[in-house]
Chain A
Amino acid sequence: MKLNRLTIYGFGHFHDRTFDLSTDLNFLVGPNEAGKSTLTQFITSILFGFPTKKHPVLRYEPLDGSRFGGEIQFTQGSATYIVTRMDGPRGGKVTLHNETTDLELPANQLANLLAPVDAQLFANVYAINEPRLGEVFAASKQELIDRLRHVGAVGSDFWLQQAHQLDRQADSRYKPQGRNPILNQQLQEHRELTAKLAKADAAYDTYWQLLQEQQDFRQQQAQMQATLRHQRQVTDQLTQQAARWSAFTEWQRLGQLAQAPVPSGFTAADATQLEQLRGQATAADQALAADQQRLQTLQQDAQLPPLFQAYLPVAAQMDPLLATLTTTRTADSDRQRLAASQHDLEERAGTIEAQYATNGQMPRPFSLTTTQQVAALQERLTTASQKRRRLQQQLNQLNERFQQQQPVRQQQRNPLADKQIIWLAVGLIVLIGSLFLPGTLFKLVGALLGVAVGYYGVFLVDSSTPASREHDELTADIRDVQAQLREGGHLVDDLNNQLDVIGDAHGLGDLPTEQWSAAQAAITEWERLSHQMEATHAQLVKAQQQVANFLTAVGAALPSLAGENFQTVAPQLAELQTLKQAIQNQAGDLATVAERLKTDQITADQAQQALAAFLSTRNLRSVTAFYDHYQAQRERHNQAEQRTALATQIGAENLTALQQVTDQTSLTQAVQAAQTQQAQTQQALDLTTAKLATLAGQLTHLTASGTQATLRQRLANLETQMVATTQDWLVQRLVSQWIAATLAAASGDRLPQIVTQASNFYGKLTENRYTEIELTADTLRVKRADGAWRTVGQLSRGTAEQLDLAVKLAFAVVMQQQVAMPLVIDDGFVNFDAQRRQAAYALLAEISQHVQIIFLTADTAVEQLRTGNLIRLND
């Protein structure tokens, strides 16, 4: 790129000025304030934009108010362009015109045309002035290197800035030695968390330990439970044994008794045998005594009573009598019965007689006909009597009525009444009289007549007066009834008469008719009794005769009984008869008894001997002694049984165990020892159980705490964050490194050329006092002609400025293939001595063959050089 013409509209104190430039070396000469710096700034501003209004000094706005801005015609490649920049936003309003093609180009095309040079690179490298050369000394080593790098690789400034920013960001994330960066904090937290987790992890060992303990304790618990069960059994056994101690001592005592020798022969069988023997002896004795008693009785009976002695002589006479005694006794009893019977009959007959007999004469009984007749009569009589009573009643009624009707006339009628009574009396008489007539018909007729008379008198005679018809009728009725009454009376009389006749004929005159039938029965009974009495009397006489005969015979034989009645005699005779029979038997009995006595005696002796033998074999004196022994034996037997019962009660095992025990005290001690042991085991078991419970609690706590999991998750989360931070950090660091490496690579192949060229230029500028520049990654030094190395700090100001100039010129020359920007040098050599300044001018002239140089200076010496395009600013 070559600048051909600068046209200033208004910039600083310039307005409407045009500077035509040559493509090689241009000297623009002017004193101070001629506008050298203004021109430098004009070129920069038109190409890269006006500075912002924050930097008014660098804007160079025209003081006279002319149009701010200007244009530059330049050649790039084969084309010529005009760039115009006027006042406007964002660095000014730009127009770009391609003069070769005569086309307006978009404003942003300018940057592409200028690339890769930007404002900064232009300022740093191509726009050289004294203060900028002096920056070499103000710069830190790193900045210097960066600057050199910047020089070496276009656009690197931005990248270096980015790299620097990335490094800062990376540092905020992590610094190996830091404390505040994020990752450092996270690492710290991580360490803390890890420590916490390690602590929590200790629970893991604790857990297994506890688990192990739990298992151990469980085993222990099981063992102890088994032991305890066993101990309980032992204790129970011992307690049982202790409780049975008294039984055991009793058992032992009985055992000692049982050990005493047992004599034989005192068994229950023996006792039974003895009892048999004794029974036999007793029975034998009793039989003997009884027989002796009988013998005595028999001997007593041999003395006879007097009657029997009296009998004995007349035995022949008496024996037939005695034979008839039974018969006679029967006869006597018959006699007594008959006598009683006769007496009874007599009494009964007497009673009947007393009732019915008249003058000691009994009435005769009726024949059958008579009986019928009497019955008929009595019937009729009864009928008649009834009829009469009825009539009488009727009459009474009539009389009553009559009296009611005619109470006054009663007196008048009295004569009539009298008449009626007469009639009635006549009728009655007739009636009664008829009754006395013989024959029933007569009586009946008579009675009827009587009645009729009476009737007539009462009813018919009294014909009533017409005036008192009713009265008459009544009167007639009364008469009629009266008549009938009379007639009935006759009939009754007649009948009574007939009955009387019959009664007289049979001796019943004194008896009323009603008793006739009863009397008839009594009469018949009486006659029968009379006949019985006659028969009884005959038998009685016969029996009396028989008894009397017997008594007579007895009296004849036994005078002592003579004159006695049969009742006295009969028992004596019976006794006599019995005695006689007894005496006949007595002789046999005695013999038998005597024989039996002998036998009894032998039996008794034998029994007694057997008993004695029984006792003597047992070496005893008495039965009592046997029983004493026997009792003792039974007692022993009982004790043995008791012992067996005790043994059962105690139990076989306990018994065996108890037999090992010396005394109760040791047993009690053993029980206590067992109980103590059991209690200890129980205590230990309780302790274990409690420990297990505690362990279970601890395990639950450990399991449920969740601390481990929480910490681990937090740690995992933190690690995720750490990785993210680390990744960011690493990426930033790597990109920073990458930028550096890329810049190094980009500049890497030019830098040696630049350094070589710079060394060459530096030699020329310093009249070969310094021969070599060395640029490493972080150092810059120069080699003197004598071989000594100098660092930048050791150089004088002028020499250092020459070093910078040399590097910049070298860069421009080396990079001109790509960049080809003009070098604008604004009075850069003020600190150079005259020789070095001349050398510098010579160098510029040399370089200008490759690079357009615009050299602005107040040094008029350049006018003498006669090289290049000379422009006087004050013209």
Chain B
Amino acid sequence: MKFIHAADLHLDSPFLGLTSLPSSLLTTVRQSTFTAATRVFDRALAEQVDFVILAGDLFDRAEQSVAAQAYLFQQFDRLNSAHIPVIISFGNHDYLADQHQTVAYPANVTTLGANVSTHTLTLNSGEAVAISGFSYPQRWVTTDQLADYPVHAATDWHIGVLHGAVATGSADHYAPFHVADMLTKRYDYWALGHIHHHQLLTEQPPILYAGNTQGRSINETGEKGAYLVTSESGRLVPQFFTTAEILWATATLRSAATDLRQLTTELTAWLTEHVAAQSTLTQLTIAGATLDGTDLASVRSGEWLTLYQRTHARQLKAAQRYLINVVIAAQPANLTAPQIDAAYWEQGAATIFAPANLQTTFGKLAQEPALAAWFAQPATRSQLTDQAQHLLAELTGKEGHDEA
């Protein structure tokens, strides 16, 4: 028996954290989620797998993408023609919503219901496979669903499908679970979705996240793909295969540059040394450069990067890298202001970086959902604090500079 376990296709979802893209890349980016998913389905057809499990987040229901739906219909039809069943467990993004699912997917597609249910397939080889799982009825599933999963059925194989995250104990919105509970079910395989980095929670039986098929932000670096699972002497052995059209990567350029001309030369040299295997959106951190205020500002504002991309398009293309932004690592902050006691700065910081003040300062912008979402992220506050310290450090440096 042979099947494919994929998850988090996030069809037609935009790439996050980009400010501009060259038009040559734009089309590729727009198609990338589809291209990656197509690779999954192509593999399914090429390997003539017995079935395909999609463990949630095939698309973002809120985004109401026509292209995503049309694509799914088309691909499911393809699999249907090859008599390959598809088992879908909808996740937090593509949660079950009856209002639009009036036109059902082709007959080979089984969508697991809001309650845990078991779907049994009889393969051409005569083997019987039980697949248990559920779909999110809405954005959040806050309770542990594992109790509803049956123990290993009297079939040759039993596979669990779950879109969720390991329980942390608080604010668990995504079907929290414990691996130990999974083991008690004595399934042959757990096909997980939701976490975008493919990873094994246990080796035997395989409990694993397929990860998403195409990274969509700088937080989703590394190889992206799905698992081809094959039975070998009574065990299911997953084999990862890559599908991503575009990779994301962070990189650090150790620099000794003191001005932008040197930095440009260094970056060009770095690019020739670090040619990517495929198109890679790269976030570059420059460490060690000692630039003056103007140069720093030029880098910070992205002016320098824009200019670089315009003048070094050939080198970037050769390296298969598109620099999404360049971050200058801050010189070690020296918060000892010459004229004001450090204690007063700390005292000031305590009031200023208090959430209440942040919220007040953020003010009306909280009404903007996109900004509010960013502001609500836990990392934002520390980010703001860091940046404020950096800025202050710069101001202090400036003061010192003026005095000299």
Closest residue on chain B to residue A734 by CB atoms: B388
Q: Mark A737-768, 1 if CB is under 8 A from B, else 0.
A: 11111111110000000000000000000000
**Does B203 touch A at the CB level, under 8 Å?**
no
**Distance of A183 Cα from B362 Cα, bound (Å):** 13
Shortest distance from the beta carbon of A730 to any chain B beta carbon, whole Å: 6
A interface SS class: helix
Q: Is the CB of A733 within 8 A of B16?
A: no
> Which residues of A line the B interface, CB within 8 A?
108, 111, 115-116, 153-156, 158-159, 162, 166, 174, 176, 183, 187, 190, 201, 203-205, 207-208, 211-212, 214-215, 699, 702-703, 705-706, 708-710, 712-713, 715-717, 719-724, 726-727, 730-735, 737-746
**Distance of A727 Cα from B327 Cα, bound (Å):** 15
Shortest distance from the beta carbon of A117 to any chain B beta carbon, whole Å: 10
> Which residues of B line the A interface, CB within 8 A?
12-21, 26, 29-30, 63-67, 69-71, 73, 100, 102-103, 337-341, 343-345, 347-349, 351-353, 357-358, 361-365, 368, 370-371, 374-375, 383-384, 387-388, 391-392, 395, 399, 403-404
A residues in contact with B15, CB < 8 Å: 713, 716
**Distance of A618 Cα from B73 Cα, bound (Å):** 89
Identify which of B14, B100, B403 contacts A111 (C-beta below 8 A). B403
Closest residue on chain B to residue A211 by CB atoms: B103
Q: Is the CB of A738 within 8 A of B368?
A: no
Q: Known pairs A162-B395, A715-B14, A735-B388. 9 more at Cβ < 8 A?
A: A154-B339, A190-B370, A208-B100, A208-B102, A709-B30, A720-B18, A735-B391, A735-B392, A741-B349
Q: Is the CB of A723 within 8 A of B368?
A: no
A residues in contact with B18, CB < 8 Å: 713, 716-717, 720
**Distance of A124 Cα from B16 Cα, bound (Å):** 52
Shortest distance from the beta carbon of A160 to any chain B beta carbon, whole Å: 12
Q: Is the CB of B347 within 8 A of A745?
A: yes
Shortest distance from the beta carbon of B217 to any chain A beta carbon, whole Å: 9
Identify which of A156, A212, A702 contacts B103 (C-beta below 8 A). A212
**Distance of A449 Cα from B399 Cα, bound (Å):** 204
Identify which of A703, A710, A742 contacts B345 (C-beta below 8 A). A742
A residues in contact with B12, CB < 8 Å: 708-709, 712
Shortest distance from the beta carbon of B43 to any chain A beta carbon, whole Å: 24
Q: Is the CB of A726 within 8 A of B29?
A: no
B residues in contact with A742, CB < 8 Å: 337, 340, 344-345, 347-348
Shortest distance from the beta carbon of B215 to any chain A beta carbon, whole Å: 14
B interface SS class: helix
B residues in contact with A183, CB < 8 Å: 365
Query: B347, B365, B371: which has the most chain A beta carbons within 10 Å?
Result: B371
B residues in contact with A158, CB < 8 Å: 339, 399
A residues in contact with B392, CB < 8 Å: 735, 738-739
Query: B26, B29, B339, B403: which has the most chain A beta carbons within 10 Å?
Result: B339
A residues in contact with B383, CB < 8 Å: 727
Q: Is the CB of B391 within 8 A of A731?
A: yes
Q: Is the CB of A746 within 8 A of B340?
A: yes
Q: Is the CB of B361 within 8 A of A732?
A: no
18 CB < 8 A contacts A-B: A155-B338, A158-B339, A166-B391, A203-B66, A207-B66, A708-B67, A712-B65, A713-B15, A717-B18, A720-B18, A723-B371, A726-B375, A730-B362, A735-B388, A739-B348, A741-B348, A741-B349, A742-B347
Q: Is the CB of A115 within 8 A of B67?
A: no
B residues in contact with A710, CB < 8 Å: 30
For the complex of A and B, list the 6 residue pairs with the smallest distance between their C-beta atoms, beginning with the closest.
A155-B339, A741-B348, A204-B64, A742-B348, A716-B14, A703-B70
Query: A155, A708, A709, A724: which has the most chain B beta carbons within 10 Å?
Result: A709
Shortest distance from the beta carbon of A215 to any chain B beta carbon, whole Å: 5
B residues in contact with A717, CB < 8 Å: 14, 18-21
- State whether A712 and B14 are in contact (beta carbons under 8 Å apart), knowing that A719-B370, A726-B374, A731-B384 are contacts in the complex: yes
Q: Is the CB of A702 within 8 A of B371?
A: no
- State whether A724 and B339 are in contact (beta carbons under 8 Å apart), knowing that A162-B395, A734-B352 are contacts in the complex: no
Q: Is the CB of B365 within 8 A of A726?
A: yes
B residues in contact with A702, CB < 8 Å: 66, 70
**Distance of A608 Cα from B340 Cα, bound (Å):** 167
**Distance of A722 Cα from B18 Cα, bound (Å):** 11
B residues in contact with A708, CB < 8 Å: 12, 63-67
**Distance of A122 Cα from B179 Cα, bound (Å):** 70
Closest residue on chain A to residue B63 by CB atoms: A712
- State whether A204 and B65 are in contact (beta carbons under 8 Å apart), knowing that A116-B339, A190-B368, A730-B384 are contacts in the complex: yes
Q: Is the CB of A716 within 8 A of B16?
A: yes
**Distance of A727 Cα from B383 Cα, bound (Å):** 9
**Distance of A180 Cα from B375 Cα, bound (Å):** 23
**Distance of A723 Cα from B377 Cα, bound (Å):** 12
**Distance of A707 Cα from B17 Cα, bound (Å):** 20
Q: Is the CB of A176 within 8 A of B363?
A: yes
Q: Is the CB of A737 within 8 A of B371?
A: no
**Distance of A731 Cα from B69 Cα, bound (Å):** 41
**Distance of A203 Cα from B63 Cα, bound (Å):** 11
**Distance of A699 Cα from B67 Cα, bound (Å):** 10
Q: Is the CB of A731 within 8 A of B387?
A: yes
Shortest distance from the beta carbon of A312 to any chain B beta carbon, whole Å: 129
**Distance of A204 Cα from B69 Cα, bound (Å):** 9
B residues in contact with A203, CB < 8 Å: 66
A residues in contact with B345, CB < 8 Å: 738, 742
**Distance of A723 Cα from B17 Cα, bound (Å):** 9
A residues in contact with B340, CB < 8 Å: 153-156, 159, 742-743, 746
**Distance of A727 Cα from B26 Cα, bound (Å):** 26
Shortest distance from the beta carbon of B278 to any chain A beta carbon, whole Å: 20
Shortest distance from the beta carbon of B101 to any chain A beta carbon, whole Å: 8
Q: Is the CB of B14 within 8 A of A713?
A: yes
Shortest distance from the beta carbon of A752 to any chain B beta carbon, whole Å: 15
**Distance of A174 Cα from B71 Cα, bound (Å):** 41
Q: Is the CB of A709 within 8 A of B67?
A: yes
Query: A205, A732, A741: which has the most chain B beta carbons within 10 Å?
Result: A741
Q: Is the CB of A732 within 8 A of B391?
A: yes
Shortest distance from the beta carbon of B363 to any chain A beta carbon, whole Å: 6
Identify which of A111, A156, A214, A735 contacts B395 (C-beta below 8 A). A735
**Distance of A745 Cα from B337 Cα, bound (Å):** 14
**Distance of A705 Cα from B14 Cα, bound (Å):** 16
Q: Is the CB of A745 within 8 A of B348?
A: yes
**Distance of A742 Cα from B343 Cα, bound (Å):** 9
A residues in contact with B357, CB < 8 Å: 737
Q: Is the CB of A204 within 8 A of B365?
A: no
**Distance of A215 Cα from B101 Cα, bound (Å):** 12
**Distance of A155 Cα from B371 Cα, bound (Å):** 36
**Distance of A620 Cα from B76 Cα, bound (Å):** 91
Shortest distance from the beta carbon of B268 to any chain A beta carbon, whole Å: 26
**Distance of A724 Cα from B370 Cα, bound (Å):** 12
**Distance of A746 Cα from B100 Cα, bound (Å):** 62
B residues in contact with A162, CB < 8 Å: 395
Q: Is the CB of B341 within 8 A of A734?
A: no
B residues in contact with A108, CB < 8 Å: 404
A residues in contact with B63, CB < 8 Å: 201, 708, 712
**Distance of A739 Cα from B398 Cα, bound (Å):** 15
A residues in contact with B26, CB < 8 Å: 713
- State whether A709 and B364 are in contact (beta carbons under 8 Å apart), knowing that A203-B66, A719-B370, A741-B347 are contacts in the complex: no
**Distance of A720 Cα from B19 Cα, bound (Å):** 6
**Distance of A731 Cα from B337 Cα, bound (Å):** 18
- State whether A115 and B361 are in contact (beta carbons under 8 Å apart), knowing that A207-B69, A720-B18, A734-B388 are contacts in the complex: no
A residues in contact with B351, CB < 8 Å: 741
**Distance of A738 Cα from B393 Cα, bound (Å):** 13
Closest residue on chain B to residue A177 by CB atoms: B364
Identify which of B14, B67, B102 contacts A703 (C-beta below 8 A). B67
Q: Is the CB of B102 within 8 A of A734?
A: no
Closest residue on chain A to residue B339 by CB atoms: A155
- State whether A201 and B70 are in contact (beta carbons under 8 Å apart), knowing that A212-B103, A713-B15 are contacts in the complex: no
B residues in contact with A705, CB < 8 Å: 66
Query: B18, B30, B66, B371: which has the most chain A beta carbons within 10 Å?
Result: B66
Shortest distance from the beta carbon of A157 to any chain B beta carbon, whole Å: 10
